Structure 1
Amino acid sequence: MVDSLIKLVSIASPTGNTSKTIEFVEEFLKKQEVITKRNRKGGLIATLPGKDDSKHRMLTAHVDTLGAMVKEIKPSGRLKIDLIGGFTFNSIEGEYCTIETASGKTYTGTILMHQTSVHVYKDAGKAERNQANMEIRIDEKVHNADEVRALGIEVGDFVSFDPRVEVTPSGYIKSRHLDDKASVAILMQLIKRIKEEKIELPYTTHFLFSNNEEIGYGGNSNIPPDTVEYLAVDMGAMGDGQSTDEYTVSICVKDASGPYHYALRKKLVSLAKENGISYKLDIYPYYGSDASAAIRSGNDIVHGLVGPGIDSSHAFERTHTSSLEQTAKLLFAYMQSEMTYE
């Protein structure tokens, strides 16, 4: 899982420009001889047949990440940016980034305050971190907007943030984009295990690798009509008042969209207890998932949300290998369990 995760976070995939990561997952699944198809939004759906084809399950994880677009080419030759996804400007200050032009050419840069130099700007530390003050310093000899455009850079070009992924000897994984590539890596390896061990699942199970979750509608379509259970696998949010940590699987009971299905939540807790899996129940106050998007779209499904605990979400994130392991164990048990709904 960790090897897959390192590869995943190293592939740029801000929402709206995710094809390279989808191709990576697709090639991985082809090697496992898994049936896959693309939806029109560019997401990937994999299917494992089960004993019962009259009731289906669907699990999702999203490959799209936070990012930005070029909003304006400034007269100075620097770039103003517009954010993709729900994060703050201060969380990307000082970050290395890559600008990808419409032709596919890439340029590197650094995201900085316009008033960065304390030797020049008296209020450098007090100035607001916002769209007006933050800009990209391009690593090219450019002095004005015309020289930038001569490189092929234009308004609407995608900007991705360097992940700076690192795995420590103590088992911590530090990187941007653990949301939600940690979950993608978990699902990839679980599918591989099921194929290698020739495990027949009790129900036909679909895996949606969605690509628009960060803007709210990644998993709201392409849900087979026979789907009964829909489980989003996404990060557990940490902070003051939260029980989620970096070492267990987080089972979400409620987020900004409201409570998740009570019976499914209790079933997940029961599976965790039966299998000796460390878990935490939690509420994420400012959060939505592919499962909540699916419910909002009118799908008649039982929906749930679990995932590894991620510290400093939508900034420079961190988790521990044990959280990935506990999440994988719960999902492995869940996929082999029976449905108990009337």
Structure 2
Amino acid sequence: MKNLLNEKELLNHIKDLTAIPSPSGYAEEAIAHAGRFLEEIGVEYKIANKGALIATIQGKDTNRHRLLTAHVDTLGAIVKEIKSSGRLKLTMVGGFHWNAVEGEYCTIHTAEGKTYTGTILLHQTAVHVYRNSGEVKRDEDSIEVRIDEVVKSKEETENLGISVGDFVSFNPRTEVTESGFIKSRHLDDKASVGILLHIMDVVKKNSIDLPYTTHFLISNNEEIGFGGNSNITPETVEYLAVDMGAIGDGQATDEYSVSICAKDSSGPYHYRLRQHLVELSKTHDIDYRVDIYPYYSSDASAAIRAGYDIVHGLIGPGIDASHAYERTHISSLIDTGALVLAYIQSDLV
């Protein structure tokens, strides 16, 4: 399976995706980018009312379907208030800690389509002025955006066209190292979206016949909890989320293999499907880790909560420093892609 994957093409997909701002609720351009690529390779797709993309490759069995999903939406923020100083207060989009974005460059996206750059800072950043700057709690009241424009008042910021409700995206700072790491914000889950786009390309280029009609859902609201709980065909019997594997103390997941989730905060994933993924990994010499993610949920678990009668599973590349400045290794991306490719050619469980 691995010999069919192209590292350069896979990394290019991920780099292209991370360069496109797409906080949950503002992911149209990232979805459009995926759509343009699918048109190039000849894969049919449609855009759902909620904005997600659903691509379909017909299989031999059209009565029972598979669905795989990855989400293109990311963490971000929205302007909550324009302060009297002209700086901005933010409200979070998605679940992260303010210290994870403190000091980050950002872009403000106005309703009129203009963009302005800025920096996310603690109000009391200057240590020469604020003796307790290191002790201040990082929250909505202390964090602000310093806009890279000459503004000294609320009115001057408003005159730029910036207003409450404007989206704010975080600079991804994507880099690929000579040692094989890719480090960037938003590898959760643009790494997996890149994998699915590459897999669809591999299937088309190699004229691979799939045993079952297979849908690839690029969801756009996962970070806020409901990205993949709709647009599931009645024929779908198996649903595999491809999302990041969580790394930390007590975790089995690493940056060099595919992570297969046994359980997250929503409960256990389908046991037979999990074992099927393990056996596929063993058969195809894919390095894998089975793990439990304690503070996590996925589009697959959202579909289960929505009441769908499906077999659900979760795999993904191991991502270090989740919801901050993330990193993984090309070997993890390749192992994940190889398992996806083996899975979509296998029998249902």
The 5 Å alignment of 1:180-219 reads: 180-219=189-228
Q: Which amino acid aligns with 1:255?
A: D
Residue type at the aligned position of 1:300: D
Report how far residue 74 of structure 1 moved.
0.2
C-alpha separation in 2, matches of 1:271 and 1:195: 22
Structure 2 counterpart of 1:318, which letter?
R
Q: For 1:242-279, what per-residue CA distance to the aligned partner results, in whole angstroms no more than 9, with x for missing partners?
A: 00000000000000000000000000000000111000
After superposition, give the CA deviation of every residue in 1:82-119 in whole Å (9 maximum; x if it has no partner). Answer: 00001000000000000000011000000000000011
* Separation in structure 2 between the aligned mates of residue 105 and residue 176 of structure 1, nearest angstrom: 23
Please give the secondary structure, in 1, of the residue aligned with 2:211: strand
Given the alignment of the two structures, is residue 14 of structure 1 paired with residue 23 of structure 2, yes or no?
A: yes
1:225 to 225, 234, 240: 234
Matched residue SS, 1:112: strand
> Of the candidates 51, 55, 65, which is equivalent to residue 46 of structure 1?
55
Residue 181 of structure 2 is matched in structure 1 by 172
Q: Distance in 2 between matches of 1:8 and 1:35?
A: 20
3-state SS in 2 of match to 1:50: coil
3-state SS, counterpart of residue 309 of structure 2: coil
Matched, 1:264 2:283: no
Partner in structure 1 of residue 260 of structure 2 = 251
1:294 maps to amino acid: A
1:137-165 per-residue CA deviation (whole Å, 9 max, x = no partner) reads: 00000000000000000000000000000
The corresponding residue for 2:146 is 137
Tell me the CA shift for residue 236 of structure 1.
0.1
Q: Matched residues, percent identical?
A: 63
Alignment match of 2:88 (pick from 57, 63, 79): 79
2:311: which partner in 1? 302
Query: What is the SS of the residue equivalent to 1:300?
Result: coil
The residue type paired with residue 5 of structure 1 is I
Using the TM superposition, give the Cα deviation of residue 33 of structure 1 relative to its aligned residue in structure 2, in angstroms. 0.8
- Structure 2, unaligned stretches of length 5 or more? 1-9
Alignment of 1:92 onto 2:101? yes
Q: Could you tell me how far apart the structure 2 residues matched to 1:36 and 1:22 are?
A: 11
Matched, 1:59 2:68: yes
The code of the aligned residue for 2:223 comes to E
SS of 2:263's partner is strand
SS in structure 2 of the partner of residue 251 of structure 1: strand
Q: Counterpart of 2:89 in 1: which secondary structure?
A: strand
Structure 1, unaligned runs of 5 or more = none
CA distance in 1, matches of 2:98, 2:240: 31
Partners of 2:198 and 2:80 lie apart in 1 by 38
The structure 2 residue matched to 1:324, chosen from 319, 333, 348, is 333
Large movers: runs of 4+ above 6 Å: none
After superposition, give the CA deviation of every residue in 1:23-77 in whole Å (9 maximum; x if it has no partner): 0000000011111000010000000000000100000000000000000000001
> Counterpart amino acid of 2:123?
H
In structure 2, C-alpha distance between the alignment counterparts of 1:333 and 1:33, rounded to whole Å: 21
Paired residue secondary structure (2:256): coil
Q: Equivalents in 2 of 1:254, 1:139: separation in Å?
A: 44
1:334 aligns with 2:343: yes
Q: Tell me which amino acid in the other structure corresponds to 2:50.
A: K
Q: Which residue of 2 aligns with 1:121?
A: 130
Shift of 1:339: 1.2
Secondary structure in 2 matching 1:183: helix
User: C-alpha distance in 2, partners of 1:127/1:190?
Assistant: 46
**Amino acid across the alignment from 1:321:** I
1:7 alignment partner, SS class = helix
Normalising by the residue count of structure 1, what TM-score does the alignment of the two structures yield?
A: 0.99
Q: Structure 1: how far apart are the matches of 2:238 and 2:29? A: 29
| TM-score after normalising by structure 2 | 0.97
Describe the superposition over 1:202-225 as per-residue Cα deviations: whole angstroms up to 9, x where unpaired.
000000000000000000001000
Letter of the 1:180 counterpart: D
Residue 313 of structure 1 aligns to a residue whose secondary structure is: coil
